[in-house]
Amino acid sequence: MAEIRIDNLLKKFGEFVAVEDVNITVEDGEFVFLLGPSGCGKTTTLRMLAGLEMPTDGRISIGSRNVTFLRPRYRNVGMVFQDYGLYRHMTVFGNIAYPLKVRGMPKADIEAKVTDVAKTMQITEVLQRKPDQLSGGQLQRVAIARMLVRDADVFLMDEPMSHLDAQLRGHMRAELRHLQKEIGVTTLFVTHDQLEAMTMADRIIVMKDGQMLQFATPREIFERPATEFVATFVGEPQMNVFDCRIRRSDSGYFASCDGFDVPLDTAWVDTSGGAALLDRTLRLGVRPEHISVSETQDAKHPIKAKLFAFEPTGAENLYVMDCGGVQLTTRTSTNETAHFDKTEGTDYAIGFDPGWLYLFDSNTGKTLAFGSQSDTGNTEA
Amino acid sequence: MSFQDLYKIESPAAPHKPKNWWVYVIILLVCFVNFMPYLWIVMTGLMDREAATASTPTWFFKPTFEAFHFLIVEKGIMYNFMNSTIVAVASTFFSVVIGMFCAYALARYDFTGRDDVSFWVLTNRMMPPVAILLPIFITFQTLKLLDTRLGLIILYTAMQLPFVVWMLTGYFRDIPKRYEESAMVDGDTWFQAFRKVTLPLMMPSITATSIFVMILSWNEFAFATFLTSIEAKTMPPSIMAYSIGASIQWNILGAAVILITAPLVLFVLIMQRQLISGLSQGVVKE
């Protein structure tokens, strides 16, 4: 068990910069996720931690040990690969026992440890089978068992659940989270699935194009995203973001968008930059759950909208609204909107919750103003 | 047919499974064409001189080992047999071992000129051996390798290498790198990972390749004829002696053919499972 420190990590493949300027400190026992779209450098970062890829520059330490250019076998890390990397010519027992055998552990001890881990992962009855006789879920368990069997300092997981079907994945999420907290080994988990990261992580590192965008708790990532990319990447359905200009009238600030105006909270605009924000093209963001829908226009629902598409998801309904060319997704509980007319083209009125609006710089994508009701914890990175 | 007529067409009844009896007819025919000549030469090898040269061929005769006796005892052909075995086994071993590492490097590492190397390896295979017979002869003469088993082993190893590299590169590519990576994270050195994880997975392919190389080396004729005379003479050139001349002794030739082909037939029969599974590696995905 150990903490991980990564300083100024850089990895180039020829001229291509895969990972740049990554600085991370992961506490002992923490469950940290590397989240990002494919090709963002998250797997490369993980492979550098495992020693399967050597960094171009920077420093990696596990515990207090500098492991930057150390070969994998000396690092004492456990790893689960995307397609498990189980040896198909060995039985499940042989697979799990392999890391112990390599280290020359006595046979009786291996037997005891493997049985122990198999019990934890509930795979005792398949120990004598070969990997090709197992189901996807069982393979997953075997791969995790092989990682657990060693007393590794750090666990690394490279999209281990991407091959499972949705139902099994939901089940494994809870199980894995529980297991990680029970064993308490520092774990780094790579995924492109924001739901996985949000539900399991202690902290999330969001990456894009080899850059680290934000390193924070799931709640902070969700409520105080560092950039427009983070804001739209996390959350399902994703945040509505569109162009606007902030103007001032007698009654206060408002955001003028194509076809409609959004009244803004004066105090919020003043603390977020005030006059500096005026008359610039900015990006206004609002999450679907912070748009309320009404059949009639009133003070709380000043914006006229037409229903573009209706998407029921069970307990909640998604109404995709068309407001003068801008499409906005809204999310409301099914019970509250049961009486709504769901025919496309029906007139509606919508209103934005002024406490949950976001402003992004349209050039750099950086967040200029967080929702005034969001958690004001410290933002790292 | 108008568009409306299309809707009048209904699905026919489920087609009944046809019995493909003619498939067996073709198989039998192919077997007959393939095995008949061989059966005939085996029979001839067991005939006495008189029966073998008779103008009307007979199906039934009294088998004798007269021809084998002549070849083995009087001509000492078993010495050539031993030469062939040593040369074939040794050259197979060396070409497969060396070729395995070359193939691994070509499959796994991205280095400058990798594609050129692969292509060059392949083109080596296209050159007709006769084209380089003379330079090889002179080289062997200078190095005093003429008529030595060592010379043939070196030559065959070099000749078979491109084939081995070319075959195995494809098979190595089919084995995902993650197996080795997983083993290395588990605590293996690169070589341990290669030996304990990659090689067992490669075994069927390596066996199949070895069988091919063994057959090619065993049958090699042109170089063996020109580069050996007595000491290192292998089977193909020694048998050649019985198939030329005015009066060919058919029973002796038949016996010689049995002696040269029997090891291969037995070998392939024993190894046929590995051969098939090795060749189909990568084709059949799990």
Residue B284: predicted pLDDT:
41
Which phi and psi (to 5°) does residue A184 adopt? 75, 25
Calculated CA dihedral for residues B149, B152, B158, B162, nearest 10 degrees:
-120
DSSP A69: T
How far is the C-alpha of A274 from the C-alpha of B265, rounded, in Å? Answer: 91
**pLDDT above 90: residue B2:** no
The structural domains of chain B, ordered by start, are 77-279 (1.10.3720.10)
Q: Is the pLDDT score of B282 beyond 80?
A: no
Lowest mean pLDDT among A60-74, B91-105, B240-254, B272-286: B272-286
A96 to chain B, closest Cα gap in Å? 10
CA separation, residue A232 to residues A219, A221, A333 (Å): 14, 11, 22
Task: Identify residue B85 by its one-letter amino acid code.
Answer: T
* Percent of chain B residues topping a pLDDT of 70: 98
CATH superfamily of A4-226: P-loop containing nucleotide triphosphate hydrolases (3.40.50.300)
For position B157, what pLDDT does the model report?
Answer: 95
Query: Does B1 have pLDDT greater than 70?
Result: no
Which pLDDT score, from 0 to 100, does residue A318 have?
Answer: 92
- Give the tens place of pLDDT for each residue, A110-141: 999 999 999 988 899 999 999 888 988 889 88
pLDDT at residue A275, as a whole number: 79
The answer to whether the Cβ–Cβ distance between A79 and B286 falls below 8 Å is: no
Do A102 and B186 count as a contact with CB atoms less than 8 A apart?
A: yes
Q: What percent helix, strand, coil does chain A show, rounded to 5?
A: 30, 35, 35
For residues A61-89, average pLDDT: 89
Instruction: Say yes or no to pLDDT of B38 above 70.
Output: yes
Alpha-carbon span B166 to B109, nearest angstrom = 15
Q: What is the pTM of this model?
A: 0.80
B192 to chain A: closest CA residue = A102
Q: Which two tokens stand for residue A22?
A: 């990554």
Better-predicted residue by pLDDT, A35 or A324: A35
Tell me if chain A has a CB within 8 Å of the CB of B286.
yes
Return the minimum-mean-pLDDT range out of A144-158, A364-378, B272-286: B272-286
> Which pLDDT tens digit goes with each residue over B118-161?
888 888 878 888 888 899 999 999 999 999 999 999 999 999 99
What are phi and psi for residue A355, nearest 5 degrees? Answer: -80, -10
In this prediction, residues A161-169 reach a mean pLDDT of 85
**Nearest alpha-carbon partner for B212 in B276, B285, B153:** B276
CB contact under 8 A, B187 and A99: yes
Q: Which two tokens stand for residue A218?
A: 């799931």
CB contacts of A83 in chain B (<8 Å) are 176, 178
Q: What whole-number percentage of chain A has pLDDT above 90? A: 58
* Distance separating alpha carbons of residues A26 and A5, to the nearest angstrom: 6
One-character DSSP codes across A257-283: ETTEEEE--HHHHHHTTGGGGBTSEEE
CB-based contacts of A192, cutoff 8 Å, min separation 6: A35, A36, A37, A38, A42, A159, A162
A368 to chain B, any CB pair closer than 8 A? The answer is: no
Instruction: Give the mean model confidence (pLDDT) for residues A289-312.
Output: 91
Question: In chain A, what residues touch B178 (CB-CB under 8 Å)?
Answer: 81-83, 85
pLDDT (0 to 100) of residue B21: 86
Read off the pLDDT band of B286 (50, 70, 90): very low
Mean pLDDT of chain A: 90
Q: What is the per-residue pLDDT across B55-110, written as a single tens digit (0 to 9) for each? A: 777 778 888 888 888 888 888 889 999 999 999 999 999 999 999 999 999 998 88
* pLDDT bracket for residue A375 (50, 70, 90): low
Where does the pLDDT of residue B276 fall: very low under 50, low under 70, confident under 90, or very high at 90 and above? confident
- pLDDT, residue A55, reads 94
Please report the residues numbered 130 through 159 in chain A whose beta carbons come closer than 8 angstroms to any beta carbon of chain B. 132, 146, 150
pLDDT of residue B281: 64
pLDDT reading at B285 higher than 50: no
Q: What confidence score (pLDDT) does residue B91 get?
A: 96
Give the separation between CA B285 and CA A263, rounded to whole angstroms: 61
Query: What are the pLDDT digits (tens) for A191-217?
Result: 999 999 999 999 999 999 999 999 999
Domain boundaries, chain A: 4-226, 240-369
pLDDT value at B29 more than 90: yes
Is residue A378 scored above 50 in pLDDT?
no
Substitution target in B181, B185, B191, B198 with the highest count of A β-carbons within 10 Å is B185
- Secondary structure (3-state) at B75: coil
pLDDT of residue B20: 84
Over range A262-287, report the average pLDDT.
86
pLDDT the model gives residue A209? 92
Nearest by CB to residue B186, choosing from A89, A99, A132, is A99
Number of CB atoms found within 10 A of residue B193's CB: 23
- The answer to whether residue B184 neighbours chain A at the CB level (below 8 Å) is yes
B186 and A98 within 8 Å at the Cβ level: the answer is yes
Judging by DSSP bridges, how do beta strands A203-208 and A31-35 pair with one another? parallel
Confidence of residue A308 (pLDDT cuts 50, 70, 90): very high
User: Does the pLDDT at position A83 exceed 70?
Assistant: yes
Q: Report how many Cβ contacts below 8 Å link chain A to chain B.
A: 58
Whether B181 and A52 lie within 8 Å, measured CB to CB: yes
Looking at residue B283, its pLDDT comes to 46
Q: How many CA atoms lie within 13 A of A265 on its CB side?
A: 17
Per-residue pLDDT, averaged over A288-292, amounts to 93
Q: Are strands A154-158 and A77-80 parallel, antiparallel or unpaired?
A: parallel
Contacts of B206 in chain A (CB under 8 A): none
Alpha carbon distance A252, B159 (integer Å): 87
Domain A240-369 maps to which CATH number in 1.10.3720.10, 1.10.490.20, 3.30.2130.30, 2.40.50.100? Answer: 2.40.50.100
A81 touches chain B (CB under 8 A): yes
